[in-house]
Amino acid sequence: MQGMARARPGDGALPVRRALERILSPSRARDWADEAANGLHNRAPFASARQGLQSGQVVAVLAPLVFLVAWGAAWPPLTGVLLILSSAMILALSALRLVAAAVPARPLTAPEVDDSRLPVVTILAPMFREAAVLPQLVRALDRIDYPAEKLDIKLIVEAVDGATLKAARACDLDARFEIVVVPDGAPRTKPRALNYAMRFALGSIVCIYDAEDVPHPGQVRTAAGVFSAAPARLACLQAPLGWYNHDRNWLTRQFALEYAAHFHALLPLLARMGWPLPLGGTSNFFRREALEAVGLWDPYNVTEDADLGFRLATHGYRTGVIAPPTREEAPVRLPAWLVQRSRWIKGYAQTIAVHTRNPQKLFTRTGGTGTLSLGVSLGAAVISAALHAPTVLFFLVAATAAPSWPLCWAACILITGYSAAAICAAVGARRAGLTPRLGDLLTMPAYWPLQTLAACRALWELRSNPYFWAKTEHGHSPAPETETRAAAWNDTEAACPLPSPSSSWAVSRRASALPPGCRDGRSTSRADRA
């Protein structure tokens, strides 16, 4: 682990703690790495995806399918029954989307908290093969509106990733930053790296950012303020996510609409109803005490974020949403999109398997809302991804035959579902500060069947390589320089005002307009920035 060569005035015990870490880490690193990988499974095997599917779960999935196929072949009228059941599910999801669009999003707001009363916040930024975007991340984190002596930023790098480690060490990082090197081991996943880095975290609040993230400068302060006024049961906060390259091409615009509907409409509705939230993997804020109480992240689940959201709920904790957003880089090419989406679908399936091993536990501890949320979020995503392309193919074939009432009914139901999704996406986009194009809304039905390709890959990997973390490459669309500056967030100023020039943060920052730290991977000296 790379320690800091200098400390800020007022850091107190931080340099002492880091000196002790540097002494202990070489001899204890392997033990800590093993605990990071297997701690949750060793303590609570059924809470980890490492257990895989149970035989009872396989039977519960396959038996009804075999029964329905056999019954449908023997009794054709069953087709009508299945059509009614599937129509009911589509209409229910459509109603949920319309309600999400109609009900105003009311993210939690923070009271003003004096800097002296703010807690120490640890930011964990795991990265693997991210040398290209590391300078952008450092610039974005440098502009966070939070007292410097209370910000503990961990840049987490895998030991085998020499390029990213070299880039990190080339940065002129101040005392807020520290590089944590994760010993190589299996599974090589983001949650394992996070668990390892928690050994060195100093804050009572823990925040996660991905390597390509550009968070709103006021996001950390907002989260700390919300936690200061909320009961301890509120253990997690999710900030909305979006894309800074959303207008790159049709694929990124569709991705932006999908994210807008999810983070600016559906999640705020679920949070208002008190339902568990499938977390977004970045811009999550946790009370450290609650995070450790539920066993940290599952290194064997490739959507550790979604799993953790439901695990928090089974332990009696709640999750809320806040307004200041984070912008990320969306995949700009279909192969990269498929790789990312297949990992998500595989992880959703793993999470569903974990939380249905004992369905009564999830149902009773969440009053039924956990089961409903699991179904309408992760369950619907997996089923939708698997069935979209076959459904479209069926209609294309059936359209050549004579019209029938089942076909017409199914067409009406699908049009209703697509329309509800488009309305929800349009409203979410407006809330996110975007202006959706009519052409993009009308072509959403062409985007959804692409998920079936990802679902096929996900189901294959679930069997052949369940813990493989498909890496999404970043750096193809670097964030514009203005994205890292406070003045760029005009679309969220009403929801989360930026610090005024007279604020303590604004007057304590460097006078230079240029961001410190990495500059295209090269180190810059303080004399150069003066």
Q: Which helix (H) or strand (E) segment is 222 a member of?
A: helix 219-229
CATH of the domain at 234: 3.90.550.10
**Residue 241 pairs with which residues in a beta bridge?**
326
Query: In total, how many domains does the chain have?
Result: 1
Residue with tokens 């599910």: 89
Tell whether the torsion through CA atoms of 485, 487, 489 and 492 is positive or negative: positive
Ramachandran class of 474: left when φ > 0, alpha when ψ lies in -120 to 50, beta otherwise = beta
Phi then psi for residue 156, to 5 deg, are: -100, 120
Q: Indicate whether 529 belongs to any domain.
A: no
**Residue 157 pairs with which residues in a beta bridge?**
127, 181
Look at residue 20 in the predicted model and tell me its pLDDT: 57
The answer to whether 138 touches 131, Cβ cutoff 8 Å, is: no
Q: Pinpoint the alpha helices (H) of 366-433.
A: 369-374, 380-398, 405-431
Which tokens in the block code for residue 121? 């916040």
Look at residue 40 in the predicted model and tell me its pLDDT: 94
Tens digit of each residue's pLDDT, the chain (530 residues)? 443 333 443 344 555 555 555 555 666 888 888 999 999 999 999 899 998 766 665 555 655 666 666 665 666 666 666 777 778 888 999 999 999 999 999 999 988 889 999 999 999 999 999 999 999 999 999 999 999 999 999 999 999 999 999 999 998 899 999 999 999 999 999 999 999 999 999 999 999 999 999 999 999 999 999 999 999 999 999 999 999 989 999 999 999 999 999 999 999 999 999 999 999 989 999 999 999 999 999 999 999 999 999 999 999 999 999 999 999 998 999 999 999 999 999 999 999 999 988 877 888 888 888 889 998 899 889 988 888 888 888 777 777 776 777 778 888 888 999 999 999 999 999 999 999 999 999 999 999 999 999 999 998 998 888 898 888 777 677 777 655 554 444 444 334 443 333 232 322 333 233 333 343 333 333 333 32
Look at residue 416 in the predicted model and tell me its pLDDT: 93
Q: Which domain holds residue 184?
A: 15-46+79-500
Q: Indicate whether 323 belongs to any domain.
A: yes
Look at residue 223 in the predicted model and tell me its pLDDT: 97
Q: Indicate whether 123 belongs to any domain.
A: yes
The answer to whether 130 touches 164, Cβ cutoff 8 Å, is: yes
Q: Which residue from 118, 114, 106, 180 is spatially nearest to 149, judged by alpha carbons?
A: 118
Q: Indicate whether 64 belongs to any domain.
A: no
Cis previous bond, 26, omega within 30: no
Q: Which residue from 216, 209, 244, 219 is spatially nearest to 137, judged by alpha carbons?
A: 209
Q: CA 195 to CA 222: how far, in whole Å?
A: 25
Look at residue 22 in the predicted model and tell me its pLDDT: 56
Instruction: Give 28's contacts (C-beta < 8 A, 6+ positions apart).
Output: none
Q: Indicate whether 346 belongs to any domain.
A: yes
Q: Indicate whether 30 belongs to any domain.
A: yes
Q: Indicate whether 224 belongs to any domain.
A: yes
Q: CA 119 to CA 390: how far, in whole Å?
A: 52
The answer to whether 476 touches 329, Cβ cutoff 8 Å, is: yes
Q: Indicate whether 330 belongs to any domain.
A: yes
Look at residue 345 in the predicted model and tell me its pLDDT: 93
Look at residue 122 in the predicted model and tell me its pLDDT: 96
